[in-house]
Amino acid sequence: MTSLAEIRILPPLAIARLGSAAEPVNNYDLEVSADQPFGFRAIVEAPTLVVDEATGAIAAREYRPVTFKDGDGRIRPVAPFLELWGRSGHGEDDWRHLTMHDLKGAMIRWRVTLGNLKVFRHTGDVRDQVLATTGWFSRHARMALEGRADNFLAGKHIPFGDVRYVRPTDEFPQIRVRYTPGHGHVYGADAFVKRADGTYATDPLGGVVADASLRDVVFDSSKSRWLGFNEPRPPNTPLLPTITVPPRVFAGRDGPNDGDWISRGYLDDACDGVIEVEVHTSGTTLRSFARLGAGPPAFVPDSYSMRTLSDELEQALLGAAVDPDQYTDDELQAHAEELLRRTFETVRLMNTTIMNGNASGGQINVTNTMVRMDHAETARAWQPFLAPAIVDNFAVQALHHSIFTVLRSGASPWFASALRQFDEIGDLTDRGRRKMPVMMCGSDGRYLCLTRRQYEKLRIAATRLVSRGTTKEAP
């Protein structure tokens, strides 16, 4: 065995996406068309590792067509691989993907622990925590992850998917595991009654007549308070510190008192947790872990949001401040372009007319918007963000296309002052509400803003690129 100083599971964070199809999504890249920069990003096939179901070994590495649903309309899950890397020395360039040859004679074992704590988040009852673990394993079979809670009915669980230690072979000797998430089902409490056709019906709370999407009933209402749990938010009363922001993030209905929100007892199979690995040799044990999660499918796989988890992680890793020498002019310009691209990709998915607070069919306040939030939460006068005449979606897209076009000319991104900063998310003045991104809500319930690091890169680009000073030779 190669002498190792330390090991890592890479990537350190993997996000699976729920789906009930048997075959996961094949690997792909997103590419921007050179001729049509405002078009959708092209989904381009990338090498896919094909795992043999019977042996657990990789049977092939090949390009395969990319589809997001199977022939029966079921969503293909995203099932990430996690690789075991190690290094003998301490140089950053020493890291390499370990193979069975590197670890010959060593004992490798894995353990995955996942949980869904959404109900616990609301009820505060630790017996509502849904947890699953594989225990330590070294086999190459699929290891099921069965989410169980003390407050579940006897024998019931929520499948969180499975994990498999991929069998290394001479052709594919690398050490890796694969996590296949759950199917994306909804589970309920025991007040539902299973009918002869397999569907569930009769919510004693009176709201649900039938629910064909319910997969199983798991919560035992004689033990769990989840079904019928009330998370009240009485008007003109300060929010409890334990309440989520925004509130009412679970399926529920109004109750007898103003501000009541009563749970219908649902829970899904989204989850997150850790995967651990140990490499035992005669003298040492090396350990590492990575984080793992499963969330909803990406229904717009060819677009990105302005602010993504990747941006959050970059800021957490590198800090909010940006060293100007860290990026070249071209990198800063590419950052500005990518941000603009994500902006019009986001606008493309919005009904900007309605999100602006315009009337629809002569009625205002027709759906949940930030205009409504301002009005309801702060008693601010009902007021659209922008002039109602100019918020047609195509027009807003066209405007962002124009700004992107300017960046393509090599001009500096001059618009940093129009962007909302992190400490302006509660600015309800006309000027504050019109800052970009407009009309959109962040995870804290107030206006969305870029990360401080995203903003800083734009600011530096604006100051540096405008003063490049040198002139170009003739084309």
Partner 1 sequence: MRTRFAARPVAPNPVVENSLAAPGPAPCHACTVITHPVTRFWAHLFNVRYRLLLSGLTHIFESPDASITGAPPTARGELITLVFGEMYKLRGLASLLVELPVCNEVPARREVAGPTFEMPYTLTIPRRERDRWRWHLDMLVASRGILGQLAMLDTDAGHRGFIAALRDGDAELIRRIEQIAASLDVPRSGGTI
**15: alpha, beta or left? (left if phi > 0; alpha if psi -120 to 50):** beta
Q: Rounded to whole angstroms, what are the CA distances from 200 to 111, 267, 383?
A: 35, 15, 43
Nearer to partner 1, 282 or 363 (CB): 363
Residue 223 as a binder of partner 1 (CB under 8 A): the answer is: no
Sketch the per residue contact string, 438 through 467, with partner 1: x for CB under 8 A, - otherwise: ------------------------------
Segment contacting partner 1 by CB under 8 A, of 50-58, 149-157, 212-220, 383-391: 383-391
- Contact predicate 231/248, CB 8 Å: yes
Site for partner 1 in 3-42 (CB under 8 A): 34-39
Task: Return the half-sphere exposure (C-beta side, CA atoms, 13 A cut-off) of residue 305.
Answer: 17
Nearer to partner 1, 75 or 438 (CB): 438
Residue 470 as a binder of partner 1 (CB under 8 A): the answer is: yes
Which of 144, 300, 399, 418 is close enough to bind partner 1 by CB under 8 A?
Answer: 399
The torsion angles phi and psi of 239, rounded to 5 degrees, stand at -70, 145
How many other CB atoms are there within 10 angstroms of residue 228's CB atom? 18
Residue 384 as a binder of partner 1 (CB under 8 A): the answer is: yes
Smallest separation (angstroms) from partner 1 to the CB of 396? 8
268-297 burial, b at 16+ Cβ within 10 Å, e below that, comes to bbbbbbebbbbbeeeeeebebbbebbbbeb
Which of 392, 427, 434, 445 is close enough to bind partner 1 by CB under 8 A?
Answer: 392
Smallest separation (angstroms) from partner 1 to the CB of 465? 10
Which of 18, 275, 396, 458 is close enough to bind partner 1 by CB under 8 A?
Answer: 396
Which of 195, 248, 280, 408 is close enough to bind partner 1 by CB under 8 A?
Answer: 408
DSSP assignment of 20-42 equals: -SSSPPPPEEEE--SS-TTSPPE
- Contact predicate 187/267, CB 8 Å: yes
User: Total residues contacting partner 1 (rule CB under 8 A)?
Assistant: 44
Residue 417 as a binder of partner 1 (CB under 8 A): the answer is: no
End-to-end Cα distance, the chain: 58
Smallest separation (angstroms) from partner 1 to the CB of 371? 11
Which of 404, 436, 448, 459 is close enough to bind partner 1 by CB under 8 A?
Answer: 404
The torsion angles phi and psi of 119, rounded to 5 degrees, stand at -70, -45
Which of 410, 418, 426, 443 is close enough to bind partner 1 by CB under 8 A?
Answer: 410
Which of 140, 353, 372, 445 is close enough to bind partner 1 by CB under 8 A?
Answer: 353
Smallest separation (angstroms) from partner 1 to the CB of 45? 24
Smallest separation (angstroms) from partner 1 to the CB of 351? 11
Nearer to partner 1, 166 or 465 (CB): 465
Sign of CA pseudo-dihedral 333, 341, 45, 269: positive
**Burial of residue 25, with CB atoms counted within 10 A of its CB: 0-12 exposed, 13-18 middle, 19 or more buried:** buried
- Contact predicate 263/251, CB 8 Å: yes
Residue 331 as a binder of partner 1 (CB under 8 A): the answer is: no
Smallest separation (angstroms) from partner 1 to the CB of 348? 11
Angle at 112 between CA 315 and CA 294, to 5 degrees: 55
Question: Tokens representing 304?
Answer: 């990105």
Element holding 119 (H helix, E strand): helix 118-123
Segment contacting partner 1 by CB under 8 A, of 191-199, 305-313, 380-388, 451-459: 380-388
Q: How far apart are the C-alpha atoms of 257 and 234, rounded to whole Å?
A: 8
Segment contacting partner 1 by CB under 8 A, of 103-111, 313-321, 406-414, 419-427: 406-414
Q: Is the peptide bond before 234 cis (omega within 30 degrees of 0)?
A: no
> What does the binding site for partner 1 look like in residue numbers (CB under 8 A)?
34-39, 353, 358-359, 362, 364, 383-384, 387-392, 394-399, 401-411, 414, 469-475
